[in-house]
């Protein structure tokens, strides 16, 4: 139970949601999965001249218990899929997932039994970054979209209700590329 559950709903809670959203959007702690060539571009995103530190996320976390954003960069094999799910389950709440590259998003040109045809079959994906491999600038654009999602997300009990409603809407909606990670 946090402060958002103890304050009655009203003007103060709306202001608190906006304040917490602003703080959460500027403090991602990403856990990285550099599984293929996309990992080189992700490393470039963390170094100069792109410098992820400008947005408050310069330290990539090696431990899932310290991370709240998973960046899956590259193809995911069937053998590695349970590990990705286990690490996602160990991440701190609220957790987000960014799928980087065409292999992580849809299996890419590798349409075979050994690779998962999209990481969204394992974990719910919030933002897709296209490309083979995507440039660091594209990852920056994906991070900016993720910041908008996080800033406008509700907190506390409202957040859980919003997640359940989002999941229910996705199951009955026509599959679109923006909703792909919500369908299971």
Q: What's the CATH code, domain 3-182?
A: 3.40.50.12280
- Give 77-83's long-range contacts (Cβ < 8 A, gap of 24+): 77/114, 77/115, 77/116, 78/113, 78/114, 78/115, 78/116, 80/35, 81/116, 81/121, 81/122
Determine the pLDDT at residue 181: 46
pLDDT at 182: 42
Q: Quick: pLDDT tens for 30-59.
A: 887 778 787 777 777 777 777 777 766 667
Q: Where are the domains of the chain?
A: 3-182
Residue 11 pLDDT: 52
Residues of the chain with pLDDT under 50: 174-184
pTM: 0.75
């Amino acid at each position: 139970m946090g402060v958002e559950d103890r304050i009655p709903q009203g003007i103060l809670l709306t202001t608190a949601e906006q304040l917490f959203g602003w703080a959460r959007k500027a403090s991602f702690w990403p856990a990285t999965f550099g599984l293929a060539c996309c990992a080189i571009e992700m490393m470039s995103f963390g170094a100069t001249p792109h410098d992820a530190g400008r947005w408050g996320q310069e330290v990539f976390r090696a431990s899932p218990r310290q991370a709240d954003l998973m960046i899956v960069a590259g193809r995911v094999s069937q053998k590695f899929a349970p590990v990705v799910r286990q690490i996602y389950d160990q991440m701190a709440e609220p957790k987000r997932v960014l799928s980087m590259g065409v292999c992580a998003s849809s299996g890419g040109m590798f349409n075979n039994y050994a690779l998962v045809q999209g990481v969204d079959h394992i974990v719910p994906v919030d933002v897709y970054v296209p490309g083979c491999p995507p440039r660091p600038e594209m990852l920056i654009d994906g991070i900016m979209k993720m910041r908008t999602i996080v800033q406008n997300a509700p907190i506390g009990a409202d957040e859980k209700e919003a997640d359940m409603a989002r999941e229910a809407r996705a199951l009955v909606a026509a599959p679109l590329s923006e909703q792909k990670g919500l369908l299971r």
